[in-house]
Amino acid sequence: MVKKELLFDGNEKQVYATDDPEMVIFHFKDVATCFNNIKTAVFPNKGIVNNNISARIFDYLGKRGIYTHYVELAGDREQICRKSEIIPLEIVVRNYIAGSLADRLALQEGTKPKSLIIDINYNSSELGDPLINDTQAIGLGIVDSKDLDFIYETARKINELLIEFFSKAGIKLIDFKLEFGRDAQGRIMVCDEISPDTSRLWDAETDRKLDKDRFRHDLSYVVASYEEVLERVMNVNLD
């Protein structure tokens, strides 16, 4: 597969065209950003680690019937993916209270809610990715009710699968973000990445944070924690 022109240059990833019009190459940078790009830093090898973690997780999900954009690794920091028309929603699946939800409601991080919480954010960095509701997502024409039901159903299924997956790695899945898009035939698939950049992952025994919160809150050992996640998930049997 031939890597061609740059299609998208994001904060933490780049997307390149290929000689196959239905395939692109994702390139993972060593950049970390948070708080709507107010805080940024470069961590050598972060892109390599996230590329491999996300590929491992997408492999796991694919073997269990989840349709994703991921096809295969194409190097240390690149992967071949199906080209997608992104649905501008971020779906945040919360097994525990943490991050913005804890701040918004003045709740203790790590609190277990009585039931699963799923937030929807409108994916717009210019607007700060605002929280919206189902009727807004449908009323604004971002999705229809059938698509939104499918997205919710898929998010819940992924959550169940990832809880089991990370549990085998000795990791507690606090929350995670999903993005969805449509392939060339219009079929909805999971896109972007699933990694410590897009998930909150705590050590199952100590609640030690192994994710981007180490960067957000200046806890140090950012890449070392990501590398620990990679080592653990590579030891999980995908079959």
What average pLDDT values come out for the chain (239 residues) when binned by 10 residues?
A: 95 97 98 93 98 98 98 97 98 97 95 98 93 97 98 98 98 98 97 98 98 97 98 94
pTM above 0.85, yes or no: yes
pLDDT at 239: 85
C-alpha separations of 95 from 70, 109, 168 in Å: 25, 11, 17
Q: Which domains does the chain have, with CATH numbers?
A: 3-82 (3.30.200.20), 85-221 (3.30.470.20)
pLDDT at 125: 87
pLDDT at 33: 96
C-alpha separations of 140 from 135, 144, 164 in Å: 8, 9, 35
Cα dihedral: 97, 103, 109, 114 (round 10): -30
pLDDT at 95: 98
pLDDT at 36: 86
pLDDT at 163: 98
